[in-house]
Structure 1
Amino acid sequence: MNLSTFPSQKPSSQKHKKHRKQKLTEDQVRLLESNFDSTKKLEPERKHQLSRQLGIPPRQIAIWYQNKRARWKNQSLEHDYTMLQLQLEAALVDTKQLQKEVEQLRSELNKLQAEQARRYKQYNNNINNHHRSFMDYSVSVCHDEAWSSSRSLEEDVNNLYRFDAQVFDVEETYAASSMMGSDIGVFGWRKNLL
C-alpha cells in the first residue's frame, strides 16, 4: 500500500484550524443578546459594525444570529405550546363544569315538566268535574224549568178554557137578550124600542 496516494492529514487539520471559531466572551454574548432583543433580523451593515466592535468575523456573527433565532423560535413555540396546553386544560375544566350545569338544568327541567304535566292533568280533571257539575246543574235547572213551564202552560190552558167558557156565557146571554128585545150596552141592559 502506497501512503503517498492518500492525502496527508496535516493539511486538513490546518484547514480546520483556519475555520475554527473563537469562543465568545460573556461581554460579547451580552452585546449580541441586547442587539438581538432590539432586532431579530441582522442587516448586513449591522453585522459588519458588530464584527468590528467585537473583533470577530462577520460570518460568526451571522451564524450566532441564525442559531439564536432558531433557539428563540423554539422557545417561542414551547411557550405557545405551554399556553395552548393551559388554555386547553382550562377549556376542559370549563366544559366539565358546563356539562354538570347542563345535567342540573336538565334535571330541573324534567322536574318542572313533570310538575306541569301533573298540574295540567289536575286542571283538566277539575275542568271536567266542573263541566259535569255544570251539566248536572243545567239539566236539573232545565228539568225544573220544564216542569214549572209545563205547569204554567197547563194553567194557561186552563185559564183559556175558563175565559172561553166566560166568553161563551156572555155570547149566550147576548143572544138570549137579543131574542127578548134587550140589548146589552156599555152601561148595562137597555130595552130595544123598535
Structure 2
Amino acid sequence: MKDYFYTISKGGEGFYKEKGSKFIGLAFRVHNEDEVKEKLEEVKKQFHDARHHCYAYFLSKDKLRANDDGEPNHSAGDPILGQIKSKNLTQVLVVVVRYFGGTKLGVSGLINAYKTAAFESLEASKLLKVTIEAIYEIQYGYEITNEVMKLIADFAADIKNQEFTENCNAILGIKQSLQEKFEEEASKIDGLKFDINNALHDD
C-alpha cells in the first residue's frame, strides 16, 4: 500500500498541428466527477467553435474514463488516457480540443495527434506529490503524556493541531500504511481516546 500518489498542482497547455488541424491539450487537477464536468463545460465554452473536445480522466483505479467525442473509436480518448497513465498521475483530467483543418488524418494520425497534445500539456504541468494520511483526533489526560508522545514519535505522526485544556487534544496525520498498527498500539494505552477521519495531505 503506497502512502502517496502524484498529481498536478498547476495544469499546463500543449499544442500539436497536423495537415491544418490544430490540437490544443489542456491539463487540470480534478478531485471528483463533478469537477470533471465543470472543467469540461468551461473548455467547451472557451473553445465553442472547435470540432471536437476529446478527453480522459483518472481519479482512481475504479474511476477513469476516455471519451472520443465523435472521433473514430479509441483514436482520441484512449491515447489521452494512456499519457496520464504513463506518467502515473491521479486526479487528472486532460482535454484535447481539435480544430479540423479540412484533411482527414486517419486513425493512426489521430492517435499520434491526441497523444502528442496530451503529452505536451502534462509536460507543461507542475507535478505534486500527495501523501495519503489517516487523520485521527485524540484525547488524553496529562498523566499519560509521555506514553502518547512516544506513540507519536514511533509513528512519525504529523501533529496538525494541539490544545491543552482540562485534557490534551490533538489532531494527527498517520501514513495510510501504518494505520492498522497505529490503532493497535494506541488501544494499548489506557485513557487514550481516538477517532478517525480520512484525508489527503498535499506536500
Instruction: Give me the TM-score of the superposition, normalised by structure 2.
Output: 0.21
Structure with bigger strand share is 2
Q: Which has the higher contact order (CA 8 A, sep 6+)?
A: 2
- Higher Cα Rg, which structure: 1
Structure with the higher fraction of residues in helix conformation: 1
